[in-house]
Amino acid sequence: MARNWKASLRTAAGRHSSRRGAFSAGLTALVIAAVIVFNLLVAQLPESISKLDMSDNKIYTVTDTSIEYLADLQEDVAIHVLANQDEMDQRVVKFLDKYVSLSDRLSLDYTDPTVYPSVLETYGCEENTIVVACEATGKQETIAIDSIIGYDIYSYYTTGTYSETDFDCEGQLTSAIDAVVSDAAYKVYQITDHGETALSSSVTELLERSHITLADVNLLTDGGIPEDCDLLVCNGPTSDLADDEKDMILAYLAGGGQVIYLMSPDLSPRPNWDEILETYGITISDGMMADTQRYYANQLDAFFPEVDSSVDAASNLTGDSMVLIYRSRGMTLTDPARDTITVSSFLDTSDKCYSVVDEDTRSEGSFSIGALATEDTDGGTARLTVFGSSSLVDEGITSSFTNLSNLDLFLNCSTAGFDDISNISIEPVSLQVTQNTITTGGIWSALFIFVLPLAVLLFGFVRWMRRRKL
């Protein structure tokens, strides 16, 4: 009887094992089929969705600025890559694929100039070039592939190699597309021969991406302000205007002209510039600004002014935007010379700021660091934008602090008066490696490194022994 019971038990166990085996095999087949179907469905998704950016620096992630711009694109744009695709930096290739997938208006093709040398004559450029062309407008822009990835040449002298600094594919592509589909073209002149500082290459590149060309002008020797001047810039003069130059600028503004004035970081008197500003309701303080609340690195004369984005001069900035100003003059807003003039401040110090003339002369209060005066005239809307310091566009500051919005603010001020400019500014993606240091975690490190893994192993061993006995 006992033997029959044991035989029956073994038979039942075998049947149960067979059913479990069949169930497991069926479940495995179902999972495999589901995975295959899932992969087939994913393969049909657009590349912009199906491919995730797993890069350390998120170089394949396209900003909302470009996404929104491409969504509104009204013309077909072709991107011709004149290079051997296999020999290109594959980061550029992957980004191009991702970028083109964002709009049905974009097309992408590759042509190897080594195989088809005539293509260089067709587009009038050299090899290893990206040509962005719009058939509807007949325009084309070129991007040197070598310019997409930036390098720190100085690292060669310390390490023997060139270290990568940034990845600038999106910014150049979006700017080039905007250039070929837009008819906008503007001319900016910067005043010379008063000790002014020439605008840096970073500024000129931003202006060029917005279809703005830059030229110099000497108001006295060049016959005044050129007729094709859309914006007049004076960056950090160390000497004052002549009386004739003052009259030229006042007449230019009265006719609907646009002027940006960035003050020099010194206390030298410039009465002619002061007269221009006072005409438009802006008075310069006597001293240099020292902000005791919003200063940087224990330097009271280097501070972060508060941004008022309700003024169109700063409309592209948000609450998270930071602007760093160094050695700045302050301004107060007064009654302008005419009721038709409106003046407002878009950069302000804290109310714990001091205007310091010397050790014994200072006044406390809130001061304007950036002000805008506008006036509707028969010739258009006049705009006078004034900054307390030329440090806003100082290369030493803008290149050292890549998270600042200084250049974005200046570009917005430069283009705010131009109706048909997109004002696209996309910063390159940093390729700098961030070093993470693992610190001692004490009892928590012991828990996660030793205790939990040992507990899991022990639990598994006990389960295995129990099943073996069965």
Give residue limits of the domains in the chain. 55-170, 185-419
CATH number of 55-170: 3.40.30.10
Residues found in the chain: 470
Q: Given this model, what pLDDT does residue 12 score?
A: 54
Residue numbers in the chain where pLDDT is lower than 70: 1-57, 153-160, 422-423, 425, 432-452, 464, 467-470
State the pLDDT at residue 443. Answer: 54
pLDDT at 50: 46
CATH 3.40.50.880 fits 185-419, yes or no: yes
Residue 437 pLDDT: 40
What pLDDT sits at residue 48?
A: 47
8-state DSSP, 391: G
Largest distance between two CA atoms of the chain: 126
What residues contact 220, with CB distance under 8 A and at least 6 apart?
A: 193, 242, 244, 245
The identity of residue 151, as a single letter, is Y
> Do the beta carbons of residue 164 and residue 149 sit within 8 Å?
yes
Residue 44's pLDDT is what? 53
Contacts of 299 (CB under 8 A, 6+ apart): 326
d(Cα 236, Cα 397) in Å, to the nearest integer?
15
Q: What is the pLDDT of residue 7?
A: 58
Spatial distance between the Cα atoms of 171 and 99, rounded to a whole number of angstroms? 11
**H or E element: which one contains 178?**
helix 169-181
pLDDT at position 74 is 92
Nearest to 224 by CA among 198, 197, 251, 201: 251
- Give yes or no for a contact between 328 and 353, defined as CB atoms under 8 angstroms apart: no
Over the Cα atoms of the chain, what is R_g? 32
Q: At what angle do helices 201-209 and 169-181 cross, to 10 degrees?
A: 50
Note the pLDDT tens digit of each residue in 23-47: 555 566 666 666 666 665 655 555 4
DSSP string, 6-18: HHHHHHHHHHHHH
What is the model's pLDDT at position 313?
Answer: 93
Q: What is the pLDDT of residue 399?
A: 83
d(CA 325, CA 397): 9
pLDDT at 346: 97
Determine if the pTM surpasses 0.75: no
Give pLDDT, residue 205: 85
